[in-house]
Structure 1
Amino acid sequence: MPSLRRGPGVRQCLLLSVFLLAVWETGSGQLHYSIPEEAKHGTFVGRIAQDLGLELAELVPRLFRVVSKDRGNLLEVNLQNGILFVNSRIDREALCGRSAECSIHLEVIVDRPLQVFHVEVEVRDINDNPPVFPMTVKTIQFPESRLLDSRFPLEGASDADIGVNALLSYKLSHDEFFFLDIQTNDELSHSLFLVLGKSLDREERAEMNLLLLATDGGKPELTGTIQILIKVLDVNDNEPTFPQSVYKIQLLENTENGTLVVKLNASDADEGSNSEIVYSLSSDVSSTTRTKFKIDPTSGEIRTKGELDYEERKSYDILVTASDKGIPPMSGHCKISIKLVDINDNAPKVSITSLSLPVQEDAPLGTVIALITVSDRDSGINGQVTCTITIQVPFKLVSTFKNYYSMVLDSALDRETTSDYKVVVTARDGGSPSLWASASVSVEVADVNDNAPAFAQPEYTVFVKENNPPGAHIFTVSAVDADAQENALVSYSLVERRVGERALSSYVSVHAESGKVYALQPLDHEELELLQFQVSARDAGVPALGSDVTLQVFVLDENDNAPTLLGPPARSSVSELVSWSVGSGFVVTKVHAVDADSGYNAWLSYELQPAAGSSRSPFRVGLYTGEISTTRALDDADAPSQRLLVLVKDHGEPALTTTATVLVSLVETSQAPKASSRALVDAARLEGSLVDVNVYLIIAICAVSSLLVLTLVLYTALRCSAEPMEGSCAPGKPMLLCSSEIGSWSYSKQRKPRVCSGEGPPKTDLMAFSPSLSHGPDSAEEGQQLSGSEYLGKVGFKIDQFSACRTIYLKCSYFHCLASSSLNFGEKKKHFRKTW
């Protein structure tokens, strides 16, 4: 029958637990559920996934998990349907004791992205604990002389439940001598007294058995009983009495051992030994209380014993008995109610969990880095904790719920600037003085491929002598990537293009790892003066980043081409008829030669080799013109047939030569007209051809000079616009470098270029340089391979100006030779157009 009466109540609790779920607290951001204690395994708590706005399909991929600090696995979530259910027995009394509020705090954590939700499950009390008395049988001795209305205190029952379930009522079994007096201290605390209502007579009745029933306010009601055995004594008729029945004391929890709590002073109306009082703690005082307090039996002083801790226990109730030494002894009772006062003796605690490390340097703002929990065992303001973070770090703390924080990204990260952060989280309570604690975490920044390989400069100029050995190392490119690991692993490759009719890769190659550039074949200055190409540097990141650098390889000339004869002297020999009557300075003929090299390697000089056995020759040759003319008038001592050997030599190192043979026959004047007639015809043709060639030459020089002047003007304008802070285009460093003597170099501040042409003294090469041109990383190394152009590699020069100036010099020299040759007009015109 009792089980039938409890059945509807249990079912009613289960129904309430089903309907009072999934309630959001307004403005708190916390999910709140409520369940009764002692709920069975599998009891429905709430649809937690639905209430948190999560899809069932994403619970497993996002690593949905529930964490309960110090609560074990009382609650669990079914990942298939997102329902929170009871996993094991929940005993509210074991969980929270007699605390009015009892909740299980859950942290719901999901990843990708990291999110944290706080869930509070309230555990409601049910009436599952009956009232319990300290003992089952209590024996009380009453002298027969005890006056009516004498009172004897009784220890009430205790109930582990709270609220109405712990609201006790008492009932004493019917007896004609005693009745129960209940005094209410507060809602849940009562003082019980057994009151004598009728005079005792030991001879009539020596013992009495009473039953005290305690009933709680739960539904259904639970009860507890204690048997009271009363023995009637016949002696001492006055008991000790205290000035007050209850003493209320407040103590600081850090009170030192041996501190006086209260001094009791009971009195007894008897005399002699019947008035001598002995103090003792009541047998109802628990063993825990006895370890904290002691009483002096003679003086009645109660002192502390051991350390008191507010966080362990907040109050103590001590029952004290004062007994006289009469026979039989009589006793009086009082209650000492001690309440402890909290002090700030507990520092906060900080714990860092659920770290999302390392952090990508391109992580968006607001990314959760770590979860932080702080706690303080103290109460009131002593337990109020504030949390701060290290300054000057790109992170901040965001309060999520009560003492829960999230450390989130507050500003952009750059691993190349800072790759690791030491973050210290400090928690400080509100006590005076305040206590604090800290915890540190190292946040590593993971690299992303956000930096392309970079060269030291956008282009390099390299000088390489022609006729280099195949596979020769001519330069090394180097790019630096600020990223890390594979994102900084740089490889090099050629940017393929066509050089004339051939691919660039047939001329040069670059080592993918070292960046060394190799010439795959011997380079020929006469075929290719400038090889310009790009080398690409790519990192190994995904996606890969890269940059290009331009290499301008100038092929420097070597003296590898001997002079070549033009015109009739190109044959093995040529015959000329000269009249005996010619005077000094008569031009017999002219030797014409050209050299395929450049610069000084193509600068030719002519020498007349002395004939064997001849003391002196009436002929000479112009050192730079190649004209063969008489040095004096001819006489009979001169041989009628003379063989002249002209040596043509360039100015290279070593010099290369070729020879031309001119056979001169001396004839009488009567035979000279034919020769003179032919000479006049040749002279007329030569004069006509020179006029035509000179016209072309003047036009070409004017065009090239105009182009050069325009180039210099544009270059100067670009330099001025690129350097606005240096003022207007004032005279700066020398921009031209010319040779005034063979083999020696000097600066020239002239802005107008000089074109050196014509016959006579050594010609002056016109070259334009830019002192701002930088050198490549291996320019010093490659410079060791240079000879006559070593100074050019140190100073550097502007490529387009150098090419234009050198072309003017070479073509002017060539046109001079062409105009002075004995070719007919058609041949000269053909050579001129082909060369230009």
Structure 2
Amino acid sequence: MNCCLFLPFMLGISLLWPCLTATENSRTEEVKHPVGSRRVKRFWVWNQIFVEEEMRTPKHRIGQLKSDKNDGRPSLRYKISGEGAGTIFSVDGKSGLLYVLQKLDREDQASYTLKAHMIDISTGETVEPESEFIIRVTDINDNEPKFLDGPYEAVVPEMSPEGTFVTQVTASDVDDPSHYNNGRLVYSLLQGQPYFSIEPTTGVIRTSAKMDRELQDEYWVVVQAKDKIGLSGALSGTASVLIKLTDVNDHKPIFTKSLYRMYVSELARTGTPIGTIMAEDKDIGDNAEMHYSIEDASETFDIITDDETQEGIVILKKKVDFENQIYYHIKAKVKNRHVDEQLMKYHGEASTTSIKVHVEDEDEPPVFLRPQYTFDVIEGDPQGLYVGLVAAVDPDQRKSPVRYSVTRSKMFQIDDNGTIVTTSPLDREVSPWYNLSITAREIYNVEQISEVPVYVHVLNINDHAPEFSEYYDTYICEDAGSDQVIQTISAVDRDDSIEDHYFYYSLSMEDKNNSSFTIRNKTGNTAEILTNRSGFSLQEEPVFYISILIADNGIPPLTSTNTLTIRVCDCEDSNSTQACRSKYSMPCVECRAWIISGSLICIVIIFGFVFVIIALKHRRHQNRFPEQGTDYRDNIFRFDEEGAGEEDMEALAIGELRSRPVLREHRAPRTSSADIRKLCRLSLQAGPDDATLKEFILEKLEEADTDPYVPPFDSLQTYAFEGTGSLAGSLSSLESADSDQNEIDHCFNAWDLALKD
């Protein structure tokens, strides 16, 4: 009670304090008198000057200047100089009263420094030295507190304990805090309780309760700052603070559905997604990342997590079969990826859900009982040999019948029961393996097909006899001795033997009786040919032909007869067959050169002949008589003598030409040059009407008609004889009295022309 009475008294004293301090104070200055050495004290006397800001104007008295030199003379005047003299402040020269001429703002300038002067205006002299004085502007509470750093935003983890620091706000007041606490501030919350609190003097905001981000993730707090320590007449300012709650992993993911139904086709491949599951987590960010898994290990299904959508994707891990199992039941669970040990109390057992997968029936292709088949077949067996049996079934419920076919092979065929047989005998030496592809196709749905590889291995039988591995060019010197090795031979066998091949060499029965050579088997399937006597003759027996029998070790064993040619050579003094080999091989080299050259010449001649035929055909198709459209197809007969008579024309009747060319078989000429000359001599003796001559002419006509290498529409025949019965008479020199030799020469010349034609 006493305090309440004392508080107004104290406030009254503080308000009257400027007036109490406005008492006159004296300032004593010590000056030196110019005359003599006596020191005289002079004094400026005025009121202590304080000016309250925002004081109403004009011309408000704020104090008075006084000097002890002012003895009342009319000529003495007060003057001021310095900051604001004459503009902000003025002085009455006679009385020394000070006035303020305008409002003052302490926040702009808190004090002014001026100088006081005492002047005698009659003489213009300074009566007393100038003195400096200060006018102070006193503060009034005319500025409210301001938050200069706003707007404010802060974050704090959810579920933080009470008293957790959130942020600090600061306001400023330009008023003088020492003058009636005008600038001393007090902070308080206008909004934000009961979750937050603020320290009054520092502006620190703290939590005052636990908050759950999932219920409310941000709060608006309004802070007020008051000056004058919150007393009466205080001014205030406010600021808003947005406080956001950051997430902590205080919630576990939970499935919203207790059962998921999914469907998968029995034709689906492994890795196929069949559905998704989703759990909810009230947390956000990393705290909401989840991991899905199957609670009990499953060989058929698996779950992977989509990191972007946080969904669980159920995939097919192993192919399913509708005919074996229609439904699958699995259980999935979910948990957070990132869990702090301190927050484990919020988690516990993982959330689970059930998944029921239904397998859908599809029309599947046939399925072979084995992934591949391998069969063995003996070579050389006849057509239709049984190879093996394949089987495929329709896995669907209707069990459609299956039809088989063979692809990629013409050596095998298959029936509807899956039995594979050969279509022709097999030869291991041609192909030891056959790779088939058997196709099974459903009869009720031909689009449903499947294939299986079939490998047929052809087993070997001993069906090839051994033979020389190469051609042997063997020579022996005339003076060779007995038991001399002249050749080492070896053999090959195209058959495939389980054991290593073994060959036995021997001479035929005929050659065994021949004592010139013998054979000796060696290791490595080779044999040596040795001489069985000494001395050979190039003149008497230049070449020997030896029949060598080679037997293999097959079942049954096979034997072949191979001929070895041995040439006798005159080795002279060298006693070596190397010179013989060189001598006999050189002609062969020359023969090869001649053969190659001859082949090239023949090729050139053939191409030239073809070119000539094409050119002749091209010329034949051209119209030689453009003014006439008639195609001339007459034989042209040229007679060196006069035309023949009717008898000759009858003998040489010409048939109608063929309308189109016909390829005729080439016939070799039947008459040689020697025969023609012989006939010529006979014709000179018998005459032109002899039957031999007629036969010759008819034969020549037949050769011309059947010759396929000349154009078929034109022929040129030259006859050296004139026919009988000519009305013009004979102009031939054949009946002249010239010598027989001339007649014979004339005949030969005529027949030569005929042969050339």
**Does the TM-score normalized on the shorter chain lie above 0.5?**
no
TM-score (norm. length: structure 1): 0.33
Higher relative contact order (CA 8 A, sep 6+): 1
TM-score (norm. length: structure 2): 0.36
